[in-house]
């Protein structure tokens, strides 16, 4: 137990995490590729046509994982941010910063695929459905977080200000979702729901899970890549970065 | 295998534009993001190395 | 505790009275934005009645944003904020006082003015009454949530625009229930449920928001 705790703190320092992240990255890339190929194979080649939605339903193999990831990454980001705020770990703030652009990308992809799904199903690119609207607001929250962090020059202050914003956002997301849902039911929302197809065949569920796993692995790999760049940038004046750089020459 | 022919696969029952539009953009995004990150990392490493060399030179001269 | 909050409120009000033009400008911004809509969409009473709740509430959100950047900026410039942060009293309470003072000079005038503007939109007496009530109940939450954004962007370049980017998404629930209350009155449903939820948001906003605001201020002051 003790030893594990020590190891944890060892990797909590940017200096130790930098090479570790470099070693882990290829594994996550490989996992993302394997899951991605398997998921797309199941989703696009094996899964049968949906009785109600035709072939267009195959978009949900991309849309649902993207939406899940955009929400999940926000939670993880807020978790790292809160950890950094509470215990002053330098690495946690960097992780939160590294996750934000990927989360925003997934939120955008979720909106994009949602629009392309909506056009054939609802006959409109955009419908003020509770889920789509919440996703749009989530994208706004990501944009706010990124904008705030990039406007503050001092990285320590950027980390901590971003952390407060992320935590406030996390508290607000359920309130926003509830209010949007309330608003949507009052204003007669569309009758077709995005994920609640009456009978989701087992094979479809598998395809979706595999794609979601692929997105998850991708997000980790990309976040590790980005955090390595952030670590180098912020620690550029330290001795270990000098050694690291000269060893590669 | 579910499909009878490749063209049927591409057509996606008249939803081809929407399905492949989603797949395409998602693929492009998931390729462009890592490529940009790799390029950013490389340029940062190059910049830091240049700085390091410049620092050494001024040190050895001074 | 109450004495501290009251002292902060009366101090901020005195300061605000010295720059009355700011308050008046924000009010006129509200009036102008609201008056632009009929010019943009046409004067059909039917359409205007439908638009009124949303237009008035969105304009109120924007007018609140105008005064937010100065919530802490003046105090920071003359060093008062640092003094307040060093004071033995919890900074959250001080922030609470400043939030309430901000509401008194920004939200309250909006709520009092809104029924007059509602007349331009051909709202019924009931709807005008609910509009004023919803703004009265909802605007304190705007000041509370806005204070978090104001503290986070204190002394940051491009603060004003950034502030709206951070705060406006968080205002969405207030907008939905506030405009929804008026809308429900217009369409003949009761506004009760909307107003109670709005009150809950305001209580939450006013009493919880000062603490993250205080934390953000400490970060900004370091």
Q: Could you give the CA distance from residue A237 to residue C206 in angstroms, rounded to a whole number?
A: 44
Whether B33 is covered by a domain: the verdict is: yes
Considering only the beta carbons, identify the residue of A165, A179, A186 that sits closest to C172. Answer: A179
Instruction: Give me the helix-helix angle, C125-152 and C91-120, nearest 10°.
Output: 140
Whether B1 is covered by a domain: the verdict is: no
Whether B48 is covered by a domain: the verdict is: yes
Q: Are A139 and A74 in contact (CB under 8 A)?
A: no
Average pLDDT along chain A: 85
Range of the domain at A68: 30-241
Pair of tokens at residue A82: 């809160």
Q: Mind listing the pLDDT tens digit for each residue in A15-32?
A: 888 888 889 999 999 999
Tell me the pLDDT band of C99, cut-offs 50, 70 and 90: very high
Q: What is the pTM of this model?
A: 0.90
Task: Work out the angle at residue C116's Cα, subtended by the Cα atoms of residues C113 and C122, and round it to the nearest 5 degrees.
Answer: 140
Q: Mind listing the pLDDT tens digit for each residue in A66-80?
A: 999 999 999 999 999
Å from A140 to nearest chain C CA?
A: 7
Q: How many domains does chain B have?
A: 1
Range of the domain at B11: 6-61
CB within 8 Å: A157 and C177: no
Q: Between C87 and C102, where is the model more confident? A: C102
Give the pLDDT of residue C147. Answer: 94
How far lies B7's CA from each of A39, A40, A210, A216, B13, in Å? 21, 18, 26, 32, 10
Residue A129 predicted with pLDDT over 50: yes
> What ipTM score was computed for the predicted complex, to two decimals?
0.90
Q: Give the sign of the dihedral formed by CA A30, CA A34, CA A35, CA A40.
A: positive
The per-residue DSSP string of C39-70 comes to: HHH---HHHHHHHHHHHHHHHHHHHHHHHTTH
Q: Where are the beta strands (DSSP E) in A14-116?
A: none
Give the pLDDT of residue A5. Answer: 57
Residue A198 predicted with pLDDT over 70: no
Q: Does C158 touch chain A (CB under 8 A)?
A: yes
Whether A66 is covered by a domain: the verdict is: yes
Average pLDDT along chain C: 90
Give the pLDDT of residue A1. Answer: 43
How far lies C35's CA from each of B4, C39, C41, C48, in Å? 62, 7, 11, 11
Pair of tokens at residue A92: 């946690």
Q: Could you give the CA distance from residue C220 to residue C222 in angstroms, rounded to a whole number?
A: 6
- Residue A54 pairs with which residues in a beta bridge? A50
Whether B32 is covered by a domain: the verdict is: yes
CB within 8 Å: A45 and B1: yes
Q: Does A143 touch chain C (CB under 8 A)?
A: yes
Q: Mind listing the pLDDT tens digit for each residue in C10-21?
A: 998 988 888 888
- Residue A50 pairs with which residues in a beta bridge? A54
Q: Which residues contact A138 (CB under 8 A, 6 or more apart)?
A: A70, A71, A74, A107, A173
Give the pLDDT of residue B62. Answer: 60
Residue corresponding to tokens 């009758």 = A191
Q: Which residues contact C95 (CB under 8 A, 6 or more apart)?
A: C147, C151, C210, C213, C214, C217
Give the pLDDT of residue C199. Answer: 94
Give the pLDDT of residue A189. Answer: 44
Percent of chain C with pLDDT over 90: 54
Q: Does A155 touch chain C (CB under 8 A)?
A: no
Q: Which residues contact C32 (CB under 8 A, 6 or more apart)?
A: none
Q: Could you give the CA distance from residue A84 to residue A78 in angstroms, rounded to a whole number?
A: 10
Q: Tell me, yes or no, whether chains B and C touch by having 3 or more C-beta pairs under 8 A.
A: no
Q: What is the dihedral of CA A199, A201, A202, A207, to 10 degrees?
A: -120
Rg (CA), chain C: 18
Whether A9 is covered by a domain: the verdict is: no
Biggest CA–CA distance in chain A, Å, is 65
Q: Mind listing the pLDDT tens digit for each residue in C144-167?
A: 999 999 999 998 888 888 999 999
Pair of tokens at residue C116: 């007059």
Tell me the pLDDT band of A59, cut-offs 50, 70 and 90: confident
Q: Mind listing the pLDDT tens digit for each residue in C193-218?
A: 889 999 999 999 898 999 999 999 99
CB pairs under 8 A between A and C: 72
Give the best residue of B12, B35, B59 to mutate against chain A (max A CB count within 10 A): B12
Tell me the pLDDT band of C45, cut-offs 50, 70 and 90: confident
Biggest CA–CA distance in chain B, Å, is 76
Q: Mind listing the pLDDT tens digit for each residue in A97-124?
A: 999 999 999 999 999 998 888 888 878 8
Give the pLDDT of residue A3. Answer: 53
Whether A77 is covered by a domain: the verdict is: yes
Among residues C49, C54, C27, the alpha carbon closest in space to that of C134 is found at C54
Tell me the pLDDT band of A201, cut-offs 50, 70 and 90: confident
Q: Are A61 and A211 in contact (CB under 8 A)?
A: yes
Give the best residue of A140, A161, A163, A181 to mutate against chain C (max C CB count within 10 A): A161
Give the pLDDT of residue C140. Answer: 94
User: Which chain C residues touch A157 with a CB distance below 8 Å?
Assistant: 219-220, 222
Q: Could you give the CA distance from residue A182 to residue A189 in angstroms, rounded to a whole number?
A: 10
Task: Work out the angle at residue A233's Cα, subtended by the Cα atoms of residues A229 and A238, and round it to the nearest 5 degrees.
Answer: 120
Residue C112 predicted with pLDDT over 70: yes
Give the length of chain A.
Answer: 249
Pair of tokens at residue A212: 């979601």
Residue corresponding to tokens 């993880």 = A76
Rg (CA), chain B: 24
Find the closest chain A residue to C189 by CA distance: A186
Q: Mind listing the pLDDT tens digit for each residue in C49-70?
A: 888 999 999 999 999 998 899 8
Average pLDDT, integer, range A186-190: 54
Q: How many CB atoms lie within 10 A of CB A74?
A: 24
Q: How many CB atoms lie within 10 A of CB A75?
A: 13
- Give the residue ranges of chain B where pLDDT is below 70: 1-2, 62
Q: How many domains does chain A have?
A: 1
Q: Are C167 and C145 in contact (CB under 8 A)?
A: yes
Among residues C14, C13, C38, C184, the alpha carbon closest in space to that of C122 is found at C38
Residue A192 predicted with pLDDT over 50: no
Among residues C77, C145, C175, the alpha carbon closest in space to that of A164 is found at C145
CB within 8 Å: B41 and A232: yes
| Euclidean distance between the first and the last CA atom of chain C, given in angstroms as a whole number | 26
CB within 8 Å: A229 and B33: no
Q: What is the dihedral of CA C149, C153, C158, C164, to 10 degrees?
A: 0
């Amino acid at each position: 137990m003790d030893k594990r705790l020590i190891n944890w703190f060892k990797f909590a320092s940017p200096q130790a995490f930098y090479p570790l992240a470099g070693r882990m990255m290829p594994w996550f890339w490989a996992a993302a590729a394997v899951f991605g190929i398997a998921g797309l194979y199941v989703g696009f080649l094996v899964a049968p046509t949906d009785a109600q939605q035709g072939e267009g339903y195959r978009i949900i193999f991309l849309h649902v994982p993207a939406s899940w990831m955009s929400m999940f990454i926000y939670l993880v980001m807020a978790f790292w941010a809160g950890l950094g705020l509470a215990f002053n770990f330098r690495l946690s703030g960097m992780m939160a910063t590294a996750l934000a652009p990927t989360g925003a990308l997934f939120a955008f992809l979720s909106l994009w695929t949602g629009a392309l799904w909506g056009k054939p199903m609802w006959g409109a690119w955009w419908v003020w459905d509770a889920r789509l609207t919440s996703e749009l607001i989530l994208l706004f929250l990501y944009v706010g977080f990124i904008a705030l962090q990039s406007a503050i020059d001092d990285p320590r202050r950027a980390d901590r200000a971003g952390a407060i914003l992320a935590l406030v956002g996390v508290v607000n997301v359920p309130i926003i979702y509830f209010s949007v849902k309330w608003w949507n039911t009052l204003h007669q929302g569309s009758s077709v729901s995005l994920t609640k197809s009456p009978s989701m065949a087992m094979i479809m569920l598998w395809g979706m899970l595999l794609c979601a796993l692929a997105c998850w692995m991708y997000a980790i790999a990309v976040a590790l890549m980005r955090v390595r760049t952030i670590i180098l940038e912020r620690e550029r004046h330290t001795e270990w970065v000098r050694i690291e750089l000269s060893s590669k020459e | 295998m579910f499909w009878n022919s490749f063209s049927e696969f591409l057509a996606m029952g008249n939803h081809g534009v929407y399905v492949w539009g989603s797949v395409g953009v998602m693929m492009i995004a998931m390729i462009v993001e890592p490529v940009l990150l790799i390029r950013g990392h490389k340029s940062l490493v190059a910049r830091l190395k240049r700085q390091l060399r410049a620092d050494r030179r001024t040190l050895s001269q001074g | 505790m109450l004495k501290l909050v009251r002292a902060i409120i009366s101090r901020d009000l005195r300061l605000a009275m010295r720059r009355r033009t700011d308050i008046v400008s924000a009010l006129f911004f509200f009036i102008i934005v609201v008056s632009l809509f009929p010019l943009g969409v046409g004067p059909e009473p039917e359409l205007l009645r439908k638009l009124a709740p949303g237009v008035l509430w969105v304009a109120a959100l924007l007018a609140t944003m105008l005064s937010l950047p100065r919530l802490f900026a003046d105090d920071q410039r003359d060093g008062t904020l640092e003094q307040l942060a060093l004071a033995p009293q919890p900074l959250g309470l001080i922030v609470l006082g400043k939030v309430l003072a901000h509401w008194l000079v920004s939200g309250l005038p909006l709520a009092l003015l809104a029924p007059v503007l509602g007349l331009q939109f051909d709202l019924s007496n009931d709807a005008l009454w609910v509009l004023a009530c919803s703004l009265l109940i909802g605007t304190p939450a705007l000041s509370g949530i806005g204070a978090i954004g104001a503290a986070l962007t204190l002394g940051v370049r491009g603060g004003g625009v950034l502030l709206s980017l951070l705060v406006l998404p968080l205002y969405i629930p207030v907008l939905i229930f506030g405009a929804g209350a008026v809308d429900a009155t217009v369409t003949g449903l009761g506004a009760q449920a909307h107003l109670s939820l709005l009150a809950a948001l305001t209580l939450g906003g006013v009493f919880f928001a000062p603490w993250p605001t205080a934390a953000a201020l400490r970060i900004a002051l370091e």
